[in-house]
Chain A
């Protein structure tokens, strides 16, 4: 029994560095920015297509995609570095994570392939479902796909941030309201869903950062 406890405690301690990655909310903010950039792309698409100087067709589409991705990577990277360097490390210390090692390379690869296959499977379902009617199943999938990752994150940190449980409930209510109330096809539905999701992730990340700053103090002087 005693040793069982030691093993459990050891497992918990080993998981702490992973939780440290988002102690300042930067992981949530980065994900929120990613969704925000995709949302902007959705809104920008129709606007730039009407613009005479923007290349038409596939070239225009890929320009938009690459531009949005580049803007996202730059913003998320700069923001994360700045917060880590000026806020997190002076308060609770610098951490460098291990690069992907030989042992977990295959696991990572299997995870990426599995995730891509699942996404491709879902995407292939879309036209089939859309053909029937206004895609109630696809709406459900969309709600789950957006709510799932955030709920999973909250499940891991709910003891530290109890308020996030209420945010999950509010997020679920918001997604359901959109799924029930917004008419139209999946493209029209995606915009408000993504706008809400980016607000939730970004808001949650900013609130985490504020809580972190309030509960920690930057020490002055030597280590």
Chain B
């Protein structure tokens, strides 16, 4: 029991928030994707999604790259190495707490 509680307390708070957890889980299987894909998959509104992305970027878990496709702006997102490591550690802690 103690081990489970300890494992729960070790969960990364940045990732543990449901919205951010969804974003990180989606990005974990990809090299990169654009902002529109995340809007489509998470079904969050753009404001909420942007604030979650800003929090993840601040923690160094994702990279945000602003580019253009022709004249249309495109926002590319990818998980950084430390983001991947943090997500792997999060999954491990979650399994330990079962």
Which residues of A come within 8 Å of B, CB atoms?
A: 3-4, 6-7, 10, 13-18, 20, 89, 92-99, 219, 222-223
In chain A, what residue has the closest Cβ to B76? A94
B26 within 8 A of A: yes
B31 within 8 A of A: yes
SS class, residues of chain A in contact with chain B: helix
Q: Are A14 and B29 in contact (CB under 8 A)?
A: yes
**With a CB–CB cut-off of 8 A, which chain A residues contact B30?**
17, 95-98
**Besides the known contacts A3-B98, A96-B32, A223-B35, 9 further A-B residue pairs in the complex with CB atoms under 8 A apart:** A13-B25, A13-B26, A15-B29, A93-B34, A93-B36, A94-B76, A95-B37, A96-B30, A97-B29
Q: Are A222 and B26 in contact (CB under 8 A)?
A: no
Q: Are A223 and B25 in contact (CB under 8 A)?
A: no
Using a CB-CB cutoff of 8 Å, which residues 63-86 of chain B contact chain A?
72-76
| Of A4, A96, A223, the contact of B31 (CB 8 Å cutoff) | A96
Cβ of A18 to closest chain B Cβ, rounded Å = 7
Q: Given the complex of chains A and B, what is the CA–CA distance between A13 and B15 in angstroms?
A: 14
Q: Are B37 and A93 in contact (CB under 8 A)?
A: yes
Q: Are B41 and A222 in contact (CB under 8 A)?
A: no
A sample of 7 cross-chain residue pairs with beta-carbon separation below 8 angstroms, ordered by A number, consists of A13-B22, A20-B41, A89-B36, A93-B39, A94-B34, A98-B30, A222-B73
Q: Given the complex of chains A and B, what is the CA–CA distance between A17 and B74 in angstroms?
A: 19
| Of A10, A20, A95, A222, the contact of B25 (CB 8 Å cutoff) | A10
In chain B, what residue has the closest Cβ to A220? B72
